[in-house]
Structure 1
Amino acid sequence: MSVQIPPPRMLVPESAPFTPEQRAWLNGFFAAVVTADGAPMPLTAAEGAALMPEAAAPALADNDSAPWHDPSLPLDERLAMAAGRPLAPRLMAAMAQQDCGQCGYSCADYANALFLKKEERLTLCAPGGKETARMLRQLAAEIGEAPAAVPVAGDAKPVAGPAGEPGRSRDNPAEAAFLSRRRLNGEGSAKTTWHVEFDLAASGLDYAPGDSFGVFPKNPPALADQVIAMLGARPEGLVRGRPLRDVLIEDVGLGAPPDALFQLFSYVSGGDLRRKARALANGEDPDGDAATLDVLAALHKFPGVRPGAEAFVEALEPLQPRLYSISSSLAANPGRVSLTVDTVRYRIGPRERLGVASTFLGERLGLGETLRVYVQKAHGFRLPADPATPVIMIGPGTGVAPFRAFLQERRAVGEPGRNWLFFGHQRRDHDFFYEDEFAAMRDSGLLTRLSLAWSRDGREKFYVQDRMREVGAELWRWIAEGAHLYVCGDARRMARDVERALVDIVAEAGARSAEEAAAFVAGLKKASRYQADVY
């Protein structure tokens, strides 16, 4: 029996201002998204954008089609790439492009949430810092003027767990107890890196390899005390219903001063100080030192400008949580989670500056103390679904953290796939993190290959990308046999250098032109065979 196919429904009238080709396309599109009973079929943003031509597509950002979605590109280059695009993609171009989840979204979803007015906070992109926040404020002025996007199912959803479940998002953290810390460097190292562990038993949290752990740190009490002294305020004076000292330690950021603080300074000063404060609030750098200022340095820069404690606190940004790649497997460590944390210390002038979270975890947090935490699910950074798939992991320094978790997981659940780890740091004798563990994994056969690179042990610096080039033929064989590649670490230089080395290896060992090799690597990314966790 033959089946009669009904003619396409003409949903766009002949009088509509479209060419015949546009009208035919739109009729096909609307027919595809309307079910037989006339009910609309929900589409994701990516599906809608794929079905609709550029002129008719929802003006939403999409990670997969953004040429600026590269964390190594500076902001001005990303914005130039997005010039002339609809507002939501331009908002996305202002983000840091790391998809770290620290804002609670992916980069594209954060942009879409702002554009659709589902999110009002413009300062959530911590990696983008003040530069991103300023650009978002400029672009946000256009939100009310921009043509409305077509809302589709799945748009702008925060990367979070079930509503109300503690510990599944930054907006609803749980509590975990701090168990232990041990230094991973030898005494002769120029670095201080800690392995820290938390007890998750009371929180009920779980996680998977590739996830990140969010912690809410506290500012150094000594720094809060110096700020209070500069303000001439009383530590016990109430602000927001709590002692000022507690608020400065626990609630607000004391790092890079926000523009709002300089605006406040301009209101309570005059003359040259007022002009200087207004310039800084507008993103100018009248004295060439704006990049070196923190809140305390800003107070020193404006002597005699002392706003009231309440106004001062309201001009500061909330103290943001910090995310760290998880360096353990829950299958191997039930009820526990571990992190690999580099302590940040540096000097500007006579003052030592401290990384807030790194020194909090490495020095100030007492054993047994609890802190607010959450698990940030990975955005496309997962072990292969097939346990027999080989994996190549490239993680210098603290970038090795998720790969320790990968290896622990594959051992704990018995995954048979081959494993190749590239690790590097400054000096072998002082900076070989988890050396005994990795040696045992290699001896047992779990770690098929371990390739090392030490940047300060020889006359010339030697990095993981240099080691990759040395073993390029074997690396290509693994890739040709279906291996998945992972890279974790510095977004600005290391990740770009690793990708450049990979393209060169594909070109040489795979007998391809440079253009074909670049397209091949892009295809690996598209197929989720090349994944990055960068910061």
Structure 2
Amino acid sequence: MPFHVELGGTRAVSLGMADEATGLEEVVEPWVGNVISELAEVCKGHTSIGSLNQGMRLPEANKRPIRSSSPTDEEKKMEDGDLVPFNSRSTGVRTIRALMSIPITDPLPDVPNSELPTMVSSLSSCRLIDETTRDRSESLAAENMTVSSASSGFLFTASRPYESKILNARYLTKTNTACAAKVAEVLDGGDGKLVEALDMYSHHFPLSEDKNGKRVIEMTMSLPDDFTLEYEPGDSVGMIVPNSRDSIGFVLEMLLRNHGIQRSQSISVDEGDPVTVEEALRTTVDLSGTMKKKRLLLLANFAKDAEEERALRLLSRASKPGEPDLYDTFVEQQRRSVVDILHEFPSAQSISLEGLLGCLTAIPPRYYSVCSSPLKDRQDGNECQVKVAFSVVDFNTPVVQCDVTSGRRVRGLATSRLECVSSPFLSGRQPSAHATLLIFPKPTHEFRLPADISTPLVLIGPGTGIAPFIGFLSHRLAQIASLESTEAAHVASEGTWRGSYELNPDELNISKSDVKGLNVAADYLCKQKTGDVDLFFGCRHSDHDYLYQHELERFRDVGLISNLYTAFSRDDKEHKTYVQTLMLTDETCGKRLVEMITKKQASVYICGDGNAMGRDVQNAIVSLLAKDLMDSGKCETAEQAKSGGIAKIDQMKSFGKFVLDIWS
């Protein structure tokens, strides 16, 4: 029974639910924006519980009027009696017209406020600073500056990242390194030619070849030698990546042309320390992310052209059932950023610097799964480093016939940059200077190895989802090595050691109780047995993106992995095989999976890219559990068996034995 019901309460506002990958804009943001006003209405008695309006909208009284088109410009009669086309010069407006099948002689429809998202206020404030104020601020900052150390509890965060060096990198895919060698020469001594390097990669890897779009890199980064940044297998590393030079340059030129703002002008954002306009654009706001509806609506308020304003409002409105989703087609599928929107709706380029900062969100950190073990690195003498693995984001957007800029190539801001600056290592050469990155740890509390190494594991990691499991397996291998060392110590404590050294009893400051305690610990560790590990991996091509193939086969050969199941979806063009397909079609595999879960009490971990994968794998496991319940006679109907399978998964989740790490 819900807690509020136990206390005699009644739900005043309906529950809003969504996951981190989907539904945030359509469900969570409106719910957050409306909850206070809705609760106020209920408390005042103006609204009965359960009859609350769905979403607070802008009142019509506050509606910003849509500017009428000037008759002399847009409704002027031509000699043949036709109307002059409405703003046919704007690429964005022409595309919206074509998508909506609206003739160029007709104005775009107005959008009532009731169909628009809740208006949000500016998230950022911006203040211009003169040089005198800047000097005074810097002087005060220097006077108040303190030195942090490990002893003072220093922690690295997104707002205070660690400057790490790239120590090594390699392709995990069978990718040709010829381009990396050429880029390494271009970037030798700095990243001033990063744009040229990115173009070189695009030219060398045309996406007409399927395998070119799948490039996966493992990168090794330095950690502080005072151990103020530590991690465990299962954690992620956050990375702060600046905006691209092209995007920054476009916005700087726009601000100079329209407002006379120089790139070196000092400003304070949200009352923070003074920075230049260029630095603020480089590190503060997200210029590459896909625009959201609320941000498009804010941008519409700065459009000087009436048709462009209408078009931006059309893109901002809520989608209607049965109608084509204009925002999804034009913005989401094409991954249009604020720079793209400003290019295609040029009258909005009059936006002020403060308005721009308010329209955009902060640059989000990029998170990458750790694929190493600090224990294993310590044993190998490679302390103070961490490894991550990532796919280089590089794809073409869908082609839309009436959208002249569709079908364009999109490269990930972070991963494309990382590929470029890692080029020396990718090509097998040492750089003249190590590239640096701003990183910070992102610990996890759920995606952890069981403390007991005898716990069996089922690891399911298609694609780069295998990365954290390489860390898991490396860590367990290091734990086994530690057990072997403990066993040697145990033998020595029994007096059967045959080493070449001697110990003087007088030199050992150990009491009899200490010796007894050490023996008990050694006895316990020596009797520990490692649990079975079944691992599922899937990718497209066995000869291209079988990530960590050598490492996985070695883990299997030494007995760390009990069963290694692989699925390659593109090797057979007629029949695509995924890990969930393997579970359901391979009878031996399916029975083994059920045995691991029901009899061996294995912990199940699922990691990978895409919500569909996580859902499909769970459904496959539920089907296998349901079949087992039917075959054993524990359930009479298929519906009961399915419910039993779902209940088993839910129970495992509640005990932390069924854990997912899914990203989109």
The TM-score with structure 1 as length reference comes to: 0.70
Equivalent-residue separation in structure 2 for 1:197 and 1:57 (angstroms): 56
1:248 aligns to what?
Answer: 281
Does the 8 Å contact 1:395/1:489 carry over to 2?
yes
Cα distance, 1:218 vs. partner? 1.7
Amino acid at match of 1:324: Y
Q: In the TM superposition, what are the counterparts of 1:138-149 in structure 2 within 5 Å?
A: 138-139=33-34, 141-142=36-37, 145=40
SS at match of 1:213: strand
Aligned partner of 2:646 among 511, 518, 530? 518
SS of aligned partner of 1:226: helix
2:220 to 197, 200, 205: 197
1:355 matched to 2:355? The reply is no
How far apart, in 1, do the equivalents of 2:251 and 2:330 lie? 19
- SS at the partner of 2:556? helix
Percent identity between matched residues is 28
**Equivalent residue, structure 2, for 1:21:** none
Is the aligned partner of 1:325 residue 2:369?
yes
Q: Distance in 2 between the 1:211 and 1:250 partners?
A: 25
**Aligned to 1:246, what secondary structure does the other structure show?**
helix
Q: Deviations over 1:14-64 (max 9, x none)?
A: xxxxxxxxxxxxxxxxxxxxxxxxxxxxxxxxxxx87x45252899xxxxx
User: Of 311, 315, 337, which aligns to 2:386?
Assistant: 337
Query: For the structure 1 residues 452 and 164, does the alpha-carbon distance in structure 2 shift closer, same or farther, using more than 3 Å as the test?
Result: farther
**Contact 1:210/1:382 (<8 A) preserved:** yes
- For residues 116-131 of structure 1, the aligned pairs below 5 Å read 130-131=25-26
Specify whether residues 173 and 85 from structure 1 end up closer, same or farther in structure 2 by C-alpha distance, changes over 3 A only: farther
Q: Report the residue type matching 2:392 in the other structure.
A: T
- Bigger mean CA deviation after superposition, 214-223 or 279-288: 279-288
User: In structure 1, what is the Cα distance between the partners aligned to 2:438 and 2:352?
Assistant: 30
Runs of 4+ in structure 1 over 6 Å off:
none
Tell me whether 1:409 sits opposite 2:475 in the alignment: yes
Give secondary structure in 1 for the equivalent of 2:396. strand
Does residue 289 in structure 1 map to residue 359 in structure 2? no
2:540 and 2:568 in contact (8 A); partners too:
yes
1:375 partnered with 2:417: no
One-letter amino acid of the counterpart of residue 301, structure 1: E
For the pair shown, the structure with the greater C-alpha radius of gyration is: 2
Instruction: Return the alpha-carbon distance in structure 2 between the equivalents of residues 164 and 134 of structure 1.
Output: 38
Question: Normalization by structure 2: what TM-score?
Answer: 0.57
Q: Of residues 293, 301, 306 in structure 2, which corresponds to 1:266?
A: 301
1:534 aligns with 2:662: yes
TM-aligned CA deviation for residue 502 of structure 1: 0.3
Unaligned runs of 5+ in 1: 1-48, 60-83, 99-126, 149-161
Q: Report matched runs for 1:96-495 at 5 Å.
A: 96=20, 130-131=25-26, 134-139=29-34, 141-142=36-37, 145=40, 165-167=153-155, 169-187=157-175, 188=211, 190-202=213-225, 204-229=228-253, 233=257, 234-240=262-268, 241-254=274-287, 255-258=289-292, 259-260=294-295, 262-282=297-317, 288-291=329-332, 292=334, 293-306=336-349, 307-333=351-377, 334-348=383-397, 349=406, 351-364=408-421, 368-414=434-480, 416-458=530-572, 459-469=574-584, 470=586, 471-479=589-597, 480-495=599-614
C-alpha distance in structure 2 between counterparts of 1:262 and 1:429, whole Å: 47
8 Å CA contact 1:218–1:360 kept in 2: the answer is no
Q: Label 1:313 to 1:365 Cα distance change in 2 as closer, same or farther (>3 A).
A: farther
Question: Distance in 1 between the 2:155 and 2:575 partners?
Answer: 46
- Distance change in 2, residues 1:201/1:267 (3 Å): closer
Given residue 289 of structure 1, which amino acid in structure 2 is its aligned partner? F
Going from structure 1 to structure 2, the CA distance change for 1:350 and 1:229 (only over 3 Å counts) comes to farther
Matches within 5 A, 1:19-98: 52=3, 54=5, 56=7, 86=13, 89-90=15-16, 93-96=17-20
Residue 277 of structure 1 deviates from its aligned partner by: 3.2
Give the RMSD, CA atoms, in angstroms: 3.1
With over 3 angstroms needed to count, the CA separation of the structure-2 counterparts of 1:147 and 1:343, relative to structure 1, is farther
Q: Distance in 1 between matches of 2:9 and 2:234?
A: 32
Q: Which has the higher helix share?
A: 2
1:197-248 CA-partner distances (Å, limit 9, x unpaired): 1111346211111111111112222232234445555544444443433332
Matches of 2:265 and 2:408, distance apart in 1 = 27
| CA gap 1:345/1:279 in 2 versus in 1, 3 angstroms | same
Counterpart residue type for residue 40 of structure 2: E
What secondary structure, in the 3-state scheme, does the structure 2 residue paired with 1:447 have? coil
In 1, Cα distance between equivalents of 2:660 and 2:565: 19
- In the TM superposition, what is the alpha-carbon distance from 1:528 to its structure 2 partner? 1.6
Alpha-carbon contact 1:189-1:427 (below 8 Å) kept: no
- Find the counterpart in structure 2 of residue 24 from structure 1: none
Query: 1:136 offset after TM fit, Å?
Result: 4.9
